[in-house]
Amino acid sequence: MGDEPYAALLPWTVFAVVDHAHGGGPLWAGLGALITAIALLVTSSRAETGSRNVMIVGAIGLFGALTVAGALHRSGSGFLADDGRALSAAGFACIAFGSLAFTPAIEHYTRPHVRSSRWDDHDFRRVNVLITLIWGVTFAGIAVAHLVAASMDNAGASTVFDWVVPIALAAVAAHRSRVCWDDFNDDELFQADPMRDLALDWDESGSD
């Protein structure tokens, strides 16, 4: 389960749900997300691809820190209590953007679906960068939405900006990611098509 792309979102979903319930604030929300992230890392089984699950490792660090902070600051008010969801979403964006300096976070999920001979290709690197950027920008937008909800302190605004807007942004990101991946696969199939090679040979022989 830890290797499924949608699973990377689970720790953040758990944090948002538990934190929204106000049953202990960031402490229990962070702990729930931390346990979820550890479970995903334990169930990850793609060591043979040579890629590290950057997003889940980052989640363990992020939610571990939020759990400790929540334990040290049990107050029901303040930035951590009011903006914990915005902080967690911003953490996702930072992990995604930071991974671009090394290996795009999404690559852990895409490598098993591509021939190992293409792992170092420019096109494969590019699609991983694009999809990682899409999700990084999306969660930056979600963080802003959570901040807006907290600043308005209204039940209706909380529903719209804490749930409706993030879900809509995630849906758009999922669609754009699929489009990028499908475009990459179409290009790969075209390049590997033997009829394409035959056509190129025919054109070259016809031009002689």
Do residues 80 and 27 make contact, with C-beta atoms less than 8 angstroms apart? no
Do residues 69 and 26 make contact, with C-beta atoms less than 8 angstroms apart? yes
- Taking residue 137's Cβ as centre, other Cβ atoms within 10 Å add up to 16
What is the mean predicted confidence (pLDDT) over 145-159? 88
Average pLDDT, the chain: 84
- pLDDT, position 2: 62
**55-68 residue pLDDT tens:** 999 999 999 999 99
Count the alpha carbons within 13 Å of 128 in the hemisphere toward its beta carbon: 25
- pLDDT, position 144: 97
Which range (91-100, 104-113, 123-132, 183-192) has the least confidence? 183-192
Q: 192 vs 66, which has greater pLDDT?
A: 66
Residue 207 reports pLDDT greater than 60: no
Residue 189 reports pLDDT greater than 60: no
**41-97 residue pLDDT tens:** 988 876 555 667 899 999 999 999 999 998 887 766 667 877 889 999 999 999 999
- pLDDT, position 202: 41
